Amino acid sequence: MVSFEELGLNMSIVRAIKEIGMNNPFPIQEYCIPLILKGKDVIGQAHTGTGKTAAFSLPLINKIRTKGPIQALIIVPTRELAMQVTTEIKKFSKYMGTRCLAIYGGQSINIQKDELRRGVQIIVATPGRLIDHLKQGTIQLDNVNYVILDEADRMLDMGFIDDIKFILFYVNERRQTCLFSATMPVEIIRLSREYMKDPQQIRLNEAEISLETIDQSYLIVEEREKFKHLCNFIKNREGQQTIVFVATKQRTQRIADDLNKQGFRVITIHGDLSQRQRDYSMHRFKNGSEDILVATDIAARGIDVPAVGNIINYDIPEDPLIYFHRIGRTARAGGSGKAISLVSSSRYEDFSRILKRTELPIKRLNDEIGIEVPTLYVSRNRVNRQRSFEYNSQNRRRFGGTNRGINRGRYHNGRQYNHSQTKRG
């Protein structure tokens, strides 16, 4: 095992990271930091919670000048992740004097303009708000030599791929570009080929997507019985903080209200909350004022609360990757945790796909608890969803791409780019 000093980092950075309890690098940091320090383009793939933020931010802080214009740009998919990465960078650069600013929608753009006028060297931004600043001329990327695309697969899922291309168009082509992602779909590989120079690929735990330090289990019950078992699991969680994932914003609030009536201390986070309300919820959850967070998948990434010991999937996601990103909110940075899924018989087909994606055991609790497995069936809604998927897939093939109906613009005459509509982050 190597030390942070042996990786070639400035001793002021090493001093800061040791003060926050980071004594030895995780594998993604050990492999990526020397490559980034050497100026190599890097593609890093590793599970959530394994230290990717430090893997790219520590060498950035080491390389940039502590004075001067914006030199490094980190693009992230969500405002929560923008704030989280910025907080980490500020800790790492405590003795370096580097200034870092989060740029995201939901906060007054005038506040951000005031901070930009004071001078910053690193920008952590969501695509939509960054494009707003580019169009208004309040951010210039002429001096940016380092670009990081964090959680690139998530940005792809959210439809930001054209926004990213628009942004990169304004950055020096001689830049160093690094891409980090939990998964590596074909579209991400295409993006790397177009915008990166001979990237070095660091892929850790690629074959096994789940985390060995998470105790995974599931209980098959009827839908009407799920809340009762949710309460039982929460009562037996040994005082650890818990995140409960649900499918919709409406169910989030209803389940949170029902849990509050049962005497639990609960807070919510979902897409209908304002940025101020989200910040308030996360602050109370992180400091332990509330120890249960009920959330939609907006919280499946970008939440880093080391004290979270339990994840409960109240609703099973259709996409297996969402399941793994959810349970990655526990067992952070080498810790351990539990993930329990309440599987209604109508959603067992979705959960069976999750069972097939992991080589590690996911324990069925029915026999252990003494609950009979209900009759499994495929709902009429599932058949309708499959038909809808097939119809949309045919349309995508017919019209040569997505069916979002958003005109993203295209290149014209060299450097001119018509970006007529952008998605806000």
pLDDT value at 247 more than 80: yes
Asked whether residue 273 falls in the same domain as residue 303, the answer is: yes
Q: What per-residue confidence (pLDDT) applies to 208?
A: 42
Poorest-pLDDT segment among 4-8, 14-18, 132-136, 417-421? 417-421
Contact between residue 149 and residue 143 where contact means Cβ atoms under 8 Å apart: no
Asked whether residue 31 falls in the same domain as residue 178, the answer is: yes
Give domain status of residue 183, yes or no: yes
Percent of the chain with pLDDT over 70: 82
Give domain status of residue 397, yes or no: no
Give domain status of residue 393, yes or no: no
Task: Give pTM, 2 decimals.
Answer: 0.58
Asked whether residue 304 falls in the same domain as residue 173, the answer is: no
Asked whether residue 231 falls in the same domain as residue 189, the answer is: no
Domain count, the chain: 2
Asked whether residue 118 falls in the same domain as residue 227, the answer is: no
Give residue-wise pLDDT tens across range 34-44: 999 999 999 99
DSSP alpha helix (H) spans, 20-157: 27-37, 52-63, 79-92, 109-118, 127-136, 152-157
Contact between residue 167 and residue 74 where contact means Cβ atoms under 8 Å apart: no
- Mean pLDDT computed over 208-226: 82
Among 320, 335, 369, identify where a domain stops. 369
Asked whether residue 158 falls in the same domain as residue 229, the answer is: no
Asked whether residue 37 falls in the same domain as residue 135, the answer is: yes
Q: Which of 277, 235, 275, 229 is nearest to 267 (CA)?
A: 277
φ, ψ of residue 70 to 5 degrees: the values are: -65, 125
Asked whether residue 157 falls in the same domain as residue 250, the answer is: no
How far is the C-alpha of 183 from the C-alpha of 206, rounded, in Å? 8
Give domain status of residue 404, yes or no: no
Asked whether residue 184 falls in the same domain as residue 220, the answer is: no
pLDDT-based confidence at residue 323 (cuts at 50, 70, 90): confident
More confident residue, 277 or 70: 70
Range of the domain at 154: 5-203
How far is the C-alpha of 23 from the C-alpha of 16, rounded, in Å? 11
How far is the C-alpha of 102 from the C-alpha of 90, rounded, in Å? 11
Asked whether residue 224 falls in the same domain as residue 184, the answer is: no
Asked whether residue 91 falls in the same domain as residue 178, the answer is: yes
Q: What per-residue confidence (pLDDT) applies to 31?
A: 93
Give domain status of residue 155, yes or no: yes
Q: Which of 33, 28, 27 is nearest to 6 (CA)?
A: 33
Give residue-wise pLDDT tens across range 134-165: 999 999 999 999 999 998 988 887 889 999 99
Asked whether residue 169 falls in the same domain as residue 83, the answer is: yes
CATH number of the domain enclosing 237: 3.40.50.300
